[in-house]
C-alpha cells in the first residue's frame, strides 16, 4: 500500500471518532454513531481500494462522496449537541486535512475537481 499521509491521518481520525461516538447516548449510538463509524470506515476502505486497484480514480471519487457524508453527519452530531463545539472543531480540522490530501491524490491520478469544491 502507498505510504501516503492520507492513510495515517485517516487512521488518526478513526482512532478519535470511534471512542467519541461510543459515548453518544444509547438511542444515538444506533443511529448517528453507527452512521459516522460506518461512513468513516468505508472511506478508509475506498482509500485502500484506490491504492491497490488498477483504476484508483473511481474509488477516490467514491471516497470523496463518503467524506461529504461524514462532514454532514458530524455537523448533525454537533447540531444535536452530541459533539461539543470543541470536539466538532477538532474533528472538522482533521476531516479538512484528509480532504485536502484526497483532493491532491485525485488530481495526481488525472481526476478533475469541480469548480468551487473544497476538499
**Over the stretch 71-94, which tens digit does the pLDDT of each residue have?**
999 999 999 999 999 999 999 999
C-alpha closest to that of 43 among 107, 110, 99, 108:
99
Cα–Cα distance for residue pair 119/104, rounded to 1 Å: 9
pLDDT one-digit tens code per residue, 88-105: 999 999 999 999 999 999
d(CA 116, CA 37): 28
* Predicted confidence (pLDDT) per residue in 34-50, tens digit: 999 999 999 999 999 99
Domain 5-108 in this protein, CATH class: mainly alpha
Amino acid at each position: 500500500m502507498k505510504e501516503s499521509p492520507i492513510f495515517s491521518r485517516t487512521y488518526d481520525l478513526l482512532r478519535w471518532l470511534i471512542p467519541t461516538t461510543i459515548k453518544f447516548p444509547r438511542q444515538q449510538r444506533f443511529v448517528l454513531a453507527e452512521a459516522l463509524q460506518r461512513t468513516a470506515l468505508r472511506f478508509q476502505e475506498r482509500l485502500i481500494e484506490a491504492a491497490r486497484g488498477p483504476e484508483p480514480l473511481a474509488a477516490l471519487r467514491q471516497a470523496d462522496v463518503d467524506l461529504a457524508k461524514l462532514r454532514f453527519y458530524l455537523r448533525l452530531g454537533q447540531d444535536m449537541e452530541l459533539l461539543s463545539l470543541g470536539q466538532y472543531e477538532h474533528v472538522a480540522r482533521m476531516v479538512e486535512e484528509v480532504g485536502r490530501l484526497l483532493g491532491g491524490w485525485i488530481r495526481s491520478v488525472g481526476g478533475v475537481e469541480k469548480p468551487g469544491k473544497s476538499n
